[in-house]
Amino acid sequence: MSSQSEFHPFSSLKHHLFSRLSQTGVVIIRCMVACIIVMLVAFSIDLANPSWGLLTVSFIGLRPDIGSLWTKSVARVSGTLAGGFTGVVIIIVFGDDPIMTIVSLSLWVALCSGFITYYKGMAGYGGFLSALTAMIVVVENVDNTHIDTLIYFAVDRVSEIILGVFAITLSAALIFPQKNHRYLQQVIINLKNQIDQLVDSATITDQKSSTRFIHLHESTTRKIIEANTQRYYTAKLDIRIARISGSIERLLFEYQSLAAVLIILRHHCKREKNMASGDRVQDTQQLSDTRFNQAIQARIQKNQAHAQEIIDALASHRAMSKMPRESAKDTLVRVKNYRDAAYKATASFLATAAAFVTWSATADPQGALIVVGAVILIVLRASQNKSQLDSRDIVGATLHLYIIIFLIQFVILIHTDSFYILAPAFIIALIYIIAGAMADPKSIFWRINLLFFSILMPITNPMTYDAADFTNRIFSTFVGFMIAYLATELVRMPSAAKLLRDDIVNVRRLLYRAMKSQNPADDAVFRQEIMNYYLDALNLDDTSDRVLLIRWFNAINIICVSRNKLINANLTPSETALLDAGEQFLKRITVQIDYPGNTKQPFDNVLSDTVYRLLDDAQRNLETTGTQNSLSLMMWIDAMRRYYESVYGIDSQKTYLNIRDSSRQ
């Protein structure tokens, strides 16, 4: 059999079975097996508190793909090591000074919360585990400064967590495994289909389709970001994917630009509809439209062919090895502004310090859970990107946990005290909670249940049965929850208007940096950051014309990306002159960057006339040559026109050709 016709029957069967099972079912089966492994090993080698290993399983096992699970495992171990080291240092240096101990731990939790808010992906996830582990080490060693004991405790906690990592990774590798390249292939397939839907939506110009197009455009941008994140972390774990990571990254950036161009295509389709209904248009204008649409369709076909090439390559490692090597321009990109991070960090500092003070004031043996509850919930709020906490979620989750754990421990286990009853009872309850968390991934209610079920359910060796102690544990945890809630209420997030202004400042800085750059490597950073600011603005602003907002961001996107390509392209003398004139115009309109429709600057008719003259020149150049450079020049100048007019809130439905036709009739 030739190498071209590889067939692996067992691999194909597993892939078929995986596709037939729901993601929730796969995750539940894997977590069930992993929990059994953790409990068997923990009870066999007498680990004191396997709850942290079980927490690891439930928290990192929610993704059905092995790539993301490996990523979370690496992040969890790294964050645990960093947090454990920090906790040991805090106790050794400040253990004799309660105030400095509280302040130093609160500062660390605040830094982790700010880091989580400022970054996403593996970096932010590691921050969550770092805060959690440091808190555990400090809380359980406040009266102990002996180095040997501290190190033993830290190693014990790390061992329990690594056991959980090993268990879930092993179960994922054995139970319906979906390898890195297979999962990434499916991500690209889904994105390719999404682009096809966006193209179809762009060509349907009735009023009802406008809302669908906006929704698809926003959804496509999110999928591009998610695909790039998956590519980045998968490439870090698989050198074969890293080899072609640059080609995948280039495809995603091409899709980003295409999504921006499709807005222009949509307006051209509207114009053609008007022509069909009887509008009079000159032959040269029809020729320009035809060449423009042909160029766009050629670009769509080229992008989709590139996507299919990558999809075919990701089908097997042999196919990947045949693709040319292309490294990616990877960067760690912040996705939130400093004000958002600062507010959440401040709330985290306040919650941690207040929880510690409350614990000290009550002197309750279970008071450590006050700090545990406050820290985990306040950091969870940052990782889930929640502006506020809902007290109903907190109260409901606490009661829900109390009922479930009470039934397991004091109705079922107290009569048997057997591992063979404990294991299935615990696993069934955990399966129920995992299913709820997967059904609503953004729910704080289910996240609290997921994280604290393993903490509050006393999976200890030996088991204990003390109803009063159990109730006290639940109550102490609830007090910690409420401290976190009050901290978020006291340090309320800034208004959406302030956060939007921050985004505009960041976009302005990003635009100025892109205008000064002639390095293609900087293009990758710009593309990633502008997408995140665009989505952030859509989330924050629900009052403005969303079409106008989308056009404003896409105009900035095309301005910078097209400019970078044009200054490095082989242009004709006439195209070079047009590029130089466009550069001068760009400098004039970007002296002040204003939010669409909110500028206080007077409209400059001279600048408006200038850009239309440049567009006339660009269109004549396109009609003459029909090259990709001539199309890029026209789109670049038209993007500057759209940006300038969107700042003043001028009709977002207009395109250059619409306006020019109406002015010449």
pTM of the predicted model as reported, rounded to 2 decimal places: 0.75
Q: Give the pLDDT mean for 634-646.
A: 85
Is the confidence at residue 149, as pLDDT, over 50?
yes
Mean pLDDT, rounded, of the chain: 78
Instruction: Determine the pLDDT at residue 493.
Output: 81
Q: For residues 97 and 555, what is the distance between their CA atoms, to the nearest angstrom?
A: 56
- Which amino acid, 393? D
pLDDT in tens, 83-103: 888 988 998 888 888 899 999
Instruction: Determine the pLDDT at residue 104.
Output: 95
pLDDT in tens, 166-195: 888 888 878 777 677 777 888 889 899 999
Q: Give the pLDDT mean for 53-77.
A: 69
Instruction: Determine the pLDDT at residue 355.
Output: 95
Asked if 31 and 434 count as a contact pair (C-beta separation under 8 A), the reply is yes
pLDDT in tens, 294-317: 777 888 888 899 999 888 888 877
Q: Which helix (H) or strand (E) holds 623?
A: helix 605-625
Q: Give the pLDDT mean for 49-62.
A: 76
pLDDT in tens, 390-430: 999 999 999 999 999 888 877 776 666 666 777 788 888 88
Instruction: Determine the pLDDT at residue 654.
Output: 44
- Which amino acid, 317? H
Short-list 657, 565, 661, CA closest to 618: 657
Count CB atoms within 10 A of the CB of residue 499: 22
- What band does 657 get if pLDDT is binned at 50, 70 and 90? very low
- What band does 265 get if pLDDT is binned at 50, 70 and 90? confident
Cα of 71 vs its chain's centroid, Å: 14
Q: For residues 343 and 382, what is the distance between their CA atoms, to the nearest angstrom?
A: 10
Give the best-scoring range by mean pLDDT among 227-241, 333-347, 372-386.
372-386
- Examine residue 462 and say whether the peptide bond preceding it is cis (omega within 30 degrees of 0): yes
Instruction: Determine the pLDDT at residue 49.
Output: 73
Q: For residues 47 and 632, what is the distance between their CA atoms, to the nearest angstrom?
A: 64
- What does DSSP assign to residue 493? P
